[in-house]
Chain A
């Protein structure tokens, strides 16, 4: 082995050592650390409404074909907060309104109808918007059976109160539909202050439209 070869090997060793040293130095210049993060999205379905709310109205017969409403039923504000799509139904708690001072005086609940006005950011313009509102263009009669009024549309009605805020407005059916007057005139409605409860039933919808 010549001196040159020995020198060459020596330089090679130094070079390899230098590379190794630099590699170790470079690797030591960065330290990584991992942490675990978990997000749990749990189901929420809430109806915000005054639980003591009832339907109350006063009526006075002026003549056979004319009634005076002495007390109109109050509008009811409510909102829905839901992590899933939802549907909403309305029903009367009893089939009749009953006079508060004389329980023999009764009026069928379909004497009254209602509309739900949307006040939230979710649109209620039908099945292709967030909500299909069946009372948007028509007054629905109050019934003891559940009537499905609000249904989720293709844009989903998930959201909080700012998106799902509503006003339930009571309407006397005969106000807008003269054809029903004859029927109600046959009910022999008597003067009084009538009350009934009602249910708003909020249920989770199975339909969820993905983006």
Chain B
């Protein structure tokens, strides 16, 4: 009997050892960190010049000054705001900034009226700039995405009296003294991309 018990214990121990060798488990911890990304890129037309050198331009403005192409890369929905100070000649003369207008076109996968909203989609509805931020592009049905989704043309116009732009021609503003003299005037346009909660 003792002998049998001894053999049984040895057998059990053997099974135990076997069982332990069969279950060798290791754990690999993998962490994916999805950080917030919010990039605004000007891909072309970062510098624009409007030259008034004919009566028609002074009377009617310049419909197409040029186009700035921008892309946004955002992990969340976003909005784009715009502002600029009055044009200045570096001395005391200024041109009111609402003589400068902008309107948008979507060139990426996201379209205006669907993923993105914009109230200024043609020359006739151009936004006259101001020194305080104005909403240019906003979230529609969800505008997060990469540069291929969020690609836009910002079309510039000046002195055309369209949309919310200055209602007087450049000629008129020269005449009434709002613009004190001729020359070269500059300003900086600020674009602000903000992630929406």
Partner of B171, one of A38, A155, A159: A159
Q: Is B141 close to A, CB under 8 A?
A: no
> Contact flags (1/0) for B159-197 with A, using CB distance below 8 Å?
000000000011110111111111111111111111100
Q: Are A30 and B59 in contact (CB under 8 A)?
A: no
Looking at the assembled complex, report how far the CB atom of A84 sits from the nearest CB atom of chain B, in whole angstroms.
7
Question: Which residues from 44 to 100 on chain A have a C-beta closer than 8 Å to any C-beta of chain B?
Answer: 44, 46, 81, 83-84
- Looking at B38, B68, B177, B194, the one whose CB has the most chain A CB atoms below 10 A away is B177
A94 to B41, CA, bound (A): 67
A129 to B20, CA, bound (A): 108
Q: Are B47 and A28 in contact (CB under 8 A)?
A: no
Decide: A39 near B95, CB < 8 A? Known: A44-B54, A46-B55, A84-B182. Answer: yes
Q: Are B52 and A42 in contact (CB under 8 A)?
A: yes
- Looking at A35, A84, A208, the one whose CB has the most chain B CB atoms below 10 A away is A35
- Segment from A7-15, A160-168, A191-199 that makes contact with B: A160-168
Q: Are A37 and B188 in contact (CB under 8 A)?
A: yes
The size class of the interface chain B forms with chain A is 35 or more
The size class of the interface chain A forms with chain B is 35 or more
Looking at the assembled complex, report how far the CB atom of A47 sits from the nearest CB atom of chain B, in whole angstroms.
11
Q: Is B131 close to A, CB under 8 A?
A: no
Q: Are A33 and B191 in contact (CB under 8 A)?
A: yes
Contacts of B50 in A (CB 8 A): 37-40
Q: Are B51 and A30 in contact (CB under 8 A)?
A: no
Q: Are A28 and B36 in contact (CB under 8 A)?
A: yes
Q: Are A160 and B55 in contact (CB under 8 A)?
A: yes
Q: Are B188 and A38 in contact (CB under 8 A)?
A: no
Partner of B181, one of A37, A40, A157, A208: A208
Q: Are B187 and A41 in contact (CB under 8 A)?
A: no
Q: Are A40 and B189 in contact (CB under 8 A)?
A: no
A161 to B54, CA, bound (A): 12
Q: Can you list 11 A-B contacts with CB-CB less than 8 angstroms, sorted by A residue number?
A: A36-B189, A38-B48, A38-B185, A38-B186, A81-B58, A83-B58, A83-B171, A83-B182, A130-B175, A160-B59, A163-B175
User: Can you name 4 extra interface pairs (CB under 8 A) apart from A36-B48, A39-B50?
Assistant: A38-B186, A44-B52, A81-B59, A160-B59
B interface residues with partner A (beta carbon < 8 Å) = 36, 38-42, 46-55, 58-59, 68, 70, 84, 87, 95, 99-100, 156, 158, 169-172, 174-195
